Structure 1
């Protein structure tokens, strides 16, 4: 029997992403988020307008989306409750955030140069995606209390790097879902994926039929062209 409920958050389970961006002084920021989804080679993220990551993406127009596996949960925790924004926004102070200038050092993660954007990739993450901003949209603009606080950002993927350990045998362009164990955030707690529970009817459709024109667009890009 269902019961009427008013949960404060609706995070029913989404992947954790570490977003790397470039700060105004040329250093790099890493921020964990879990509001994200993909359509083709486009990603939509939801993020606070008071975030250093938001500021950096809107200023530079680029970032890297790094997806940790369950094995990087401790590193993600080391980034929790830290911000690259100084002074720390009041809302984050209330939640216990502190300023951290060197997020890579704090998280004990390794930066790796990107090909088409300036922010580095995170070496430890099995999935790394270089991306550029195409658009952004305010959330809750109809409500005076929420207006200007949250936005979604549309990102176009330009490069995808996959750890060979999560690839299908003899196919460098296919992730094997039996090998890939993303870190999932569900109601502020970390989880991983379990075993496959049932064969999906949609799996009869070739992945190539979903191939985006952005894939071809991305092939010959360089940092200056991106």
Structure 2
């Protein structure tokens, strides 16, 4: 039997992406997100309008989409409640976000120079996609609260061991992406690690697990 619970969150499960971009002063920003999907050589990204990454993409017109494996969950979680904005928006401050000017160091991740864009790659990520912004569109109803970015993948870097020998294809059995599902981290179908984001968003399954 189906019920109609009036769902407030629709994050049924998408890959986590670490978006690297350049701040106005030329320093690097790194932001975890999971509102992304791909078609052919393009990707659509959904980013909140209060995010530093949104401002960076609108201004610079480029970024790198770094895809972490499930083994990188701790690094991603370390920057889950951080923002590159010195003036932390009120709604984020209430959720526990803090300003972090150097997210690469905070996450213990390594900058790697890109080939075609100025934003750095994340060396530890098995998949790194250098992209340029093609278009941006207001997103949300009744008032736009986010921006949908269409980006073109200019160059894909993939760990050699993940490429099927003699082909241009990633081995789906070897690739184990980190998945965000209702603000929780999953990999290989298993809940991997406690999520700061779930705490910040006050997700009810946090209270349920505490009560058990």
C-alpha distance after superposition, 1:59-91 (max 9, x if no partner)? 000000000000110000011100001200111
Distance 1:8 1:76 in 2: 24
What RMSD over aligned residues (CA atoms) do the two structures have, in Å? Answer: 1.0
Q: Partner of 1:168: helix, strand, or coil?
A: coil
Partner of 2:20 in structure 1?
20
Does residue 153 (structure 1) correspond to residue 132 (structure 2)? The answer is: no
Partner of 1:184 in structure 2?
179
Distance 1:124 1:29 in 2: 16
Distance 2:92 2:57 in 1: 19
Q: Once the 2 structures are TM-superposed, how far is the Cα of residue 148 of structure 1 from its aligned partner? A: 3.5
Partner of 1:42 in structure 2?
42
- Structure 1 stretches of 4+ with a deviation exceeding 4 A read none
C-alpha distance after superposition, 1:99-152 (max 9, x if no partner)? 0000100000001000110000000000000000011111125x1xxx242111
**Greater gyration radius:** 1
Could you list the runs of 5+ residues in structure 1 that have no partner in the other structure? Answer: 195-226
TM-score between the two structures when normalised by the length of structure 1:
0.82
TM-score between the two structures when normalised by the length of structure 2:
0.87
Partner of 2:160 in structure 1?
164
Distance 1:23 1:88 in 2: 15
Q: Partner of 2:18: helix, strand, or coil?
A: strand
